[in-house]
């Protein structure tokens, strides 16, 4: 379709229109009302309220369609699909961030902003959770379901709108085409519309309590979910929108990586972050549709109701279907991060990457094994006789994960590591992920697992891998690429100071959670036996420090983005392609054809790997 775009006159709009985001909200409201009333019209039973669970689902579909059309889908996608000339012209000023875009850099920034905003919202909810847990009884939330809903929204947003999105939708969209020397992506409008599903999904999840508190947490375990009030419906739908967004990005980026590489960017030379992106894209493409279908089955169980996953169906099938996706999901979040370590370390150390092929093989094997370990989340749920293979693969998956450590350690050995903020944050991330990984070995052993499963030990382990592994690396990458994103530099003092703050806050909070778990603190409880209170109190204090640190980072990055001192063209002296163009890069990325003739990670040679042949 793309080759048939009708060229536009170079003006902003051929006729005036509402700001797209406002129009999106308006059309979403109209879409909801129309679909909702259409449902009521065919409802054979009179006397239902204006919004029922069923009409809320159908109405939601109308709302999302209205929203996507409103932000630009109507002019940008639907009209061209029917062959009509489109009046859609992308502006060049700030307004391009608030509508459908086809520029992968604009889309990347849109994703980054959405993910960061969601991170702060879901983090605020976490602060509420920690405040509640400072006392052993309900004192902040009024009802236990409020607490459980808060836990569920925190988890859902962090997993689907931050972890899955920030590194692939955000940094991936922005940097992958630059790093392979491409001028655009293969399906720019797919990623473009994909971004606008993120706010839709986030708002759906945030406002789910309007339909009633749901208390399953982010896993939506059946049959509890079938009993829940309507809020659980918007959990399913919000996740559907968010996962759809990530699938779109994955199709686009995978096709781009395979077909749009510049001359000389062979598979053997592909940057590590690009390897991370393509492995994760494959994981996304396999497992996100899987969970979408599972949630549709859950939705039918709730609405009709069917009996797939209740006592006369098979609750364990839901658990298996959920974790079949759920375990790859944590690798979807972490694999881009561990590939970023080895992207940043060689640059900061100005040393050739050690054992690059092992690092790549590690990523690929993690991807393949991640689909074979799901049942280790169910050791206490399943028959004991079925545990063996899952325990085996779970223990084995630590081997390829270790390859990334090996490459990082080999590179750092006898290097000349410049401890700027990105380098420092990567080292912190290595440390955190080490603890996350080693505690995973304990969890992989069934007898230990029987004791610590469903306790704060698991909560701590999980946050060590995700915050410690992914979020710290995300921060590192933000500081590393800030000069490229904005052309400006951050304050080294504040960057380092805030990095140390979050390191202390994070380790102080979550290391004690291991002990809480061992001491008998189970999950999903706003009230607990009083003997656990002192340590919970301390954990909360550290958690508040961590929250403040993240807010500090957000303010600092926003300040540097807008007002920071001008950065040099290639401040880190990196060799990858994204630094060969101006900062921020022009609309078509490179002023000419990129050709690559050397390795991006060889710091023992002076000749840069890439050249740009200017177009006449």
Partner 1 sequence: MQIDTIDKSRELRAYRFGMLMFLVTQAVPFTVIYAVEYLFDEFYISPKANQWLGTVEVLLVLASWWLGRQGLAAIRQNRLLDLVTKFRQSLLLGTASLVVLGYQWGTRFVPPSTRYGEVYYTLTGVTGFYTLVSLFVLLAISIRAAKVKLSSDNYWDAEATMYLWTFGLLTNVISYVLLYWI
Partner 2 sequence: MGDLVVFSILWILLSLVGEWALGLAKPHSLYYIIASQGYMAERAFNFLATWLTPVFVFVALFLIYTLLRFRAPDGKPVKSSQQKMRNMGFTVFWVGVSFVLNILFFLHPTSADLQAMFASEIPSRNHKDLVVDVTARQWEWIYTYPQYGVKQAVNNLGEDELELPVGRKVKFVLRSYDPFHTYDVYAGVIHDFWIPAFGMKEAVVPGLTRYEYIRPTVVASYQTNPMVRVQCAEVCGPGHPWMESPVSIVTAGQFSQWIKHQQQLQAAAGG
Q: How far is the CB of 59 from partner 1 (least distance, A)?
A: 17
Q: Does 608 bind partner 1 (CB under 8 A)?
A: no
Q: How far is the CB of 392 from partner 2 (least distance, A)?
A: 6
Please give the structure tokens belonging to residue 401. 């994960």
**Buried/exposed 285-304: b ≥16 CB within 10 Å, e otherwise:** ebbbebbbebbebbbebbbe
Q: Closer to partner 2 at the Cβ: 243 or 421?
A: 421
Taking CB within 5 to 8 Å according to partner kind, which of partner 1, partner 2, none is near residue 245?
none
Q: Does 304 bind partner 1 (CB under 8 A)?
A: yes
Q: Does 501 bind partner 1 (CB under 8 A)?
A: no
- Which region among 28-36, 76-84, 356-364, 533-541 touches partner 1 (by CB under 8 A)? 76-84
Q: Closer to partner 2 at the Cβ: 17 or 304?
A: 304
CB 24 within 8 A of CB 65: no
Q: Does 381 bind partner 1 (CB under 8 A)?
A: no
Query: 220's torsion region: left (phi>0), alpha (psi -120 to 50) or beta?
Result: left
State the Cα–Cα distance between residues 266 and 279, nearest whole angstrom.
Answer: 16
Q: Does 308 bind partner 1 (CB under 8 A)?
A: yes
State the Cα–Cα distance between residues 549 and 2, nearest whole angstrom.
Answer: 44
Q: Closer to partner 1 at the Cβ: 255 or 378?
A: 255
DSSP 546: H
Q: Does 4 bind partner 1 (CB under 8 A)?
A: yes
State the Cα–Cα distance between residues 298 and 56, nearest whole angstrom.
Answer: 16
Taking CB within 5 to 8 Å according to partner kind, which of partner 2, partner 1, none is near residue 61?
none
Taking CB within 5 to 8 Å according to partner kind, which of partner 2, partner 1, none is near residue 430?
partner 2
Q: Closer to partner 2 at the Cβ: 91 or 446?
A: 446
Taking CB within 5 to 8 Å according to partner kind, which of partner 1, partner 2, none is near residue 143?
partner 2
State the Cα–Cα distance between residues 239 and 222, nearest whole angstrom.
Answer: 16
Contacts with 116 (C-beta within 8 Å, 6 or more apart), sequence order: 166, 554
Q: How far is the CB of 289 from partner 1 (least distance, A)?
A: 4
Taking CB within 5 to 8 Å according to partner kind, which of partner 2, partner 1, none is near residue 455?
partner 2
Please give the structure tokens belonging to residue 523. 């999950």
CB 251 within 8 A of CB 285: yes
Q: Closer to partner 1 at the Cβ: 89 or 300?
A: 300
- Which region among 119-127, 293-301, 349-357, 572-580 touches partner 1 (by CB under 8 A)? 293-301
State the Cα–Cα distance between residues 511 and 293, nearest whole angstrom.
Answer: 37
* Contacting partner 1 within 539-558 (CB under 8 A): none
Q: Closer to partner 2 at the Cβ: 196 or 405?
A: 405
Q: Closer to partner 1 at the Cβ: 290 or 445?
A: 290
Q: Closer to partner 2 at the Cβ: 234 or 572?
A: 572
Q: Does 254 bind partner 1 (CB under 8 A)?
A: yes
Q: Closest Cα to residue 546, out of 493, 475, 490, 440?
A: 475
For partner 1, how many residues bind (rule: CB under 8 A)? 39
Taking CB within 5 to 8 Å according to partner kind, which of partner 2, partner 1, none is near residue 409?
partner 2
- Which region among 34-42, 98-106, 296-304, 565-573 touches partner 1 (by CB under 8 A)? 296-304
Q: Does 300 bind partner 1 (CB under 8 A)?
A: yes
State the Cα–Cα distance between residues 391 and 198, nearest whole angstrom.
Answer: 35
- Which region among 306-314, 406-414, 464-472, 487-495 touches partner 1 (by CB under 8 A)? 306-314
Among 64, 126, 321, 348, binds partner 1 (CB under 8 A): 321
| Orientation angle between helical segments 387-396 and 421-444, nearest 10 degrees | 150
DSSP 566: B
* ω into 584 cis (within 30 of 0): yes
Degrees (nearest 5) of the Cα angle 257, 429, 497?
A: 115
Q: How far is the CB of 39 from partner 1 (least distance, A)?
A: 15
Q: Closest Cα to residue 239, out of 141, 172, 351, 329?
A: 329
Please give the structure tokens belonging to residue 35. 């679909």
The HSE-up count of residue 91 (CA atoms within 13 Å, CB side) is 15
Taking CB within 5 to 8 Å according to partner kind, which of partner 1, partner 2, none is near residue 350?
partner 2
Q: How far is the CB of 591 from partner 1 (least distance, A)?
A: 17
Q: Closest Cα to residue 349, out of 302, 269, 418, 257?
A: 418
Among 14, 84, 137, 568, binds partner 1 (CB under 8 A): 84
Contacts with 250 (C-beta within 8 Å, 6 or more apart), sequence order: 168, 280, 281, 282, 284, 285, 288
CB 282 within 8 A of CB 368: no
Among 55, 247, 465, 583, binds partner 1 (CB under 8 A): 247
State the Cα–Cα distance between residues 130 and 546, nearest whole angstrom.
Answer: 12
Taking CB within 5 to 8 Å according to partner kind, which of partner 1, partner 2, none is near residue 456?
none
CB 144 within 8 A of CB 527: yes
Query: 310's torsion region: left (phi>0), alpha (psi -120 to 50) or beta?
Result: beta
Q: Does 289 bind partner 1 (CB under 8 A)?
A: yes
Degrees (nearest 5) of the Cα angle 414, 416, 417?
A: 110
State the Cα–Cα distance between residues 189 and 74, nearest whole angstrom.
Answer: 12
* ω into 223 cis (within 30 of 0): yes
Taking CB within 5 to 8 Å according to partner kind, which of partner 1, partner 2, none is near residue 351?
partner 2
- Which region among 136-144, 230-238, 288-296, 369-377 touches partner 1 (by CB under 8 A)? 288-296
Q: Does 368 bind partner 1 (CB under 8 A)?
A: no
Q: Closer to partner 2 at the Cβ: 103 or 215?
A: 215
Q: Does 259 bind partner 1 (CB under 8 A)?
A: yes
State the Cα–Cα distance between residues 556 and 551, nearest whole angstrom.
Answer: 9
Q: Does 292 bind partner 1 (CB under 8 A)?
A: yes
Taking CB within 5 to 8 Å according to partner kind, which of partner 2, partner 1, none is near residue 380?
partner 2
Taking CB within 5 to 8 Å according to partner kind, which of partner 2, partner 1, none is near residue 416?
partner 2
Please give the structure tokens belonging to residue 336. 């881009």
Q: Which residues bind partner 1 (CB under 8 A)?
A: 1-4, 81-84, 186-187, 247, 251-252, 254-256, 258-260, 285-290, 292-294, 296-297, 300, 304, 306-308, 313-314, 317, 321
């Amino acid at each position: 379709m793309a080759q048939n775009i009708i060229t536009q006159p170079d003006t902003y709009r051929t006729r005036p229109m509402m700001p797209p985001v406002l129009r999106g909200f308006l059309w979403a409201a109209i879409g909801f009302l129309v679909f909702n009333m259409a449902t009521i019209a065919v409802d054979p039973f009179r006397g239902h309220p204006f919004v029922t669970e069923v009409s809320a689902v159908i109405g939601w579909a109308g709302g999302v369609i209205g929203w996507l059309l409103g932000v630009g889908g109507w002019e940008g996608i639907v009209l061209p699909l029917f062959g009509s000339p489109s009046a859609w012209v992308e502006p060049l000023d700030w307004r391009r961030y608030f509508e459908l875009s086809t520029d992968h850099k604009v889309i990347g920034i849109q994703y980054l902003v959405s993910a960061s905003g969601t991170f702060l919202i879901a983090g605020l909810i976490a602060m509420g959770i920690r405040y509640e847990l400072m006392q052993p009884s309900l004192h902040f939330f009024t009802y236990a379901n409020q607490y459980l809903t808060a836990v569920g929204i925190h988890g859902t947003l962090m997993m689907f709108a931050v972890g899955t999105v920030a590194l692939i939708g955000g940094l991936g969209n922005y940097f992958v085409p630059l790093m392979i020397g491409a001028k655009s992506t293969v399906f720019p409008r797919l990623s473009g519309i994909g971004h606008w599903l993120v706010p839709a999904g986030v708002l759906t999840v945030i406002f789910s309590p309007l339909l009633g508190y749901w208390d399953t947490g982010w896993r939506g375990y059946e049959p509890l979910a079938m009993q829940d009030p309507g809020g659980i419906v918007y959990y399913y739908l919000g996740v559907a929108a968010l996962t759809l967004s990530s699938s779109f990005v994955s199709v686009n980026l995978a096709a781009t990586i395979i077909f749009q590489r510049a001359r000389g960017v062979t598979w053997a030379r592909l940057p590590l972050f690009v390897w991370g992106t393509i492995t994760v894209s494959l994981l996304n493409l396999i497992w996100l549709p899987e969970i979408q279908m599972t949630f549709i089955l859950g939705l039918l169980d709730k609405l009709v109701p069917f009996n797939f996953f209740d006592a006369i169906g098979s609750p364990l099938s839901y658990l298996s279907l959920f974790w079949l996706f759920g375990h790859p999901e944590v690798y979807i979040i972490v694999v881009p991060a561990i590939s970023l370590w080895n992207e940043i370390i060689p640059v900061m150390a100005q040393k050739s990457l050690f054992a690059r092929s092992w690092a790549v093989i590690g990523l690929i094997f993690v991807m393949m094994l991640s689909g074979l370990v799901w049942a280790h989340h169910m050791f206490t749920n399943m028959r004991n006789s079925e545990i063996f293979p899952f325990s085996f693969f779970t223990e084995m998956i630590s081997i390829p994960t270790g390859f990334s450590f090996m490459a990082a350690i080999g590179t750092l050995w006898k290097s000349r590591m410049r401890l700027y903020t990105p380098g420092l944050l990567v080292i912190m991330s290595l440390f955190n992920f080490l603890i996350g990984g080693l505690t995973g070995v304990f969890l992989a052993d069934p007898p230990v697992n029987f004791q610590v499963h469903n306790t704060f030990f698991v909560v701590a382990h999980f946050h060590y891998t995700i915050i410690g592994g992914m979020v710290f690396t995300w921060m590192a990458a933000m500081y590393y690429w800030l000069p490229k994103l904005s052309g400006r530099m951050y304050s080294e003092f504040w960057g380092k100071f805030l990095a140390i703050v979050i390191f202390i806050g994070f380790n102080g909070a979550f290391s004690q959670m291991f002990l809480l778990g061992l001491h008998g603190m189970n999950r999903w409880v706003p009230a607990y036996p009083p003997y656990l209170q002192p340590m919970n109190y301390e954990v909360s204090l550290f958690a508040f420090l961590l929250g403040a640190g993240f807010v500090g980072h957000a303010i600092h990055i926003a300040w540097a983005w807008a007002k920071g001192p001008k950065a040099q063209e290639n401040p880190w002296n990196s060799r990858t392609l994204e630094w060969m163009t101006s900062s921020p890069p022009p609309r078509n990325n490179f002023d000419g054809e990129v050709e690559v003739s050397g390795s991006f990670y060889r710091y023992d040679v002076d000749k840069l790997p890439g050249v740009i042949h200017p177009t006449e």
